[in-house]
Amino acid sequence: QVRLVESGGGLVQPGGSLRLSCAASGIIVSMNAMGWYRQGPGKARELVARITSGGSTNIATSVKGRFTMSRDNAKNTVYLQMNSLLPEDTAVYYCRSENWSGSHWGQGTQVTVSS
């Protein structure tokens, strides 16, 4: 059974940083494409960052230069480092795994950027 558990969200002031973690079980993250998505209030879910099984990363234009995605194969975990956070980054952030057999979602973690 695949399980993705996000953590690290919270309340942060504008300009602050957070690191989100997505711990996986039932899959090997290095053999999957892994993505971070977010859904802000009243908005559609959108892709924020993605890492392929080969280790290539793609970052959404809206967060490029502020967010980075990484993977720790030993911990079977992917991360989203978020710097210079803006109020518009407020959203529920979700982790997703993808491979030839399908995809799975985590339950999400809330990030709120506010003074």
Element (H, E) at 34: strand 33-39
pLDDT band at 113 (very low <50, low <70, confident <90, very high): very high
Residues 6+ apart with CB under 8 A from 18: 8, 9, 10, 12, 82, 85, 111
pLDDT of residue 75: 98
CA distance 66 to 82: 6
pLDDT of residue 112: 98
pLDDT band at 101 (very low <50, low <70, confident <90, very high): confident
Quote the mean pLDDT of the chain: 97
CA distance 19 to 9: 8
**C-alpha distances in angstroms, 66 versus 44, 52, 60, 97, 101?**
21, 20, 10, 23, 32
pLDDT band at 41 (very low <50, low <70, confident <90, very high): very high
Q: Is the pLDDT of residue 59 over 90?
A: yes
Percent of the chain with pLDDT over 70: 100
pLDDT of residue 22: 98
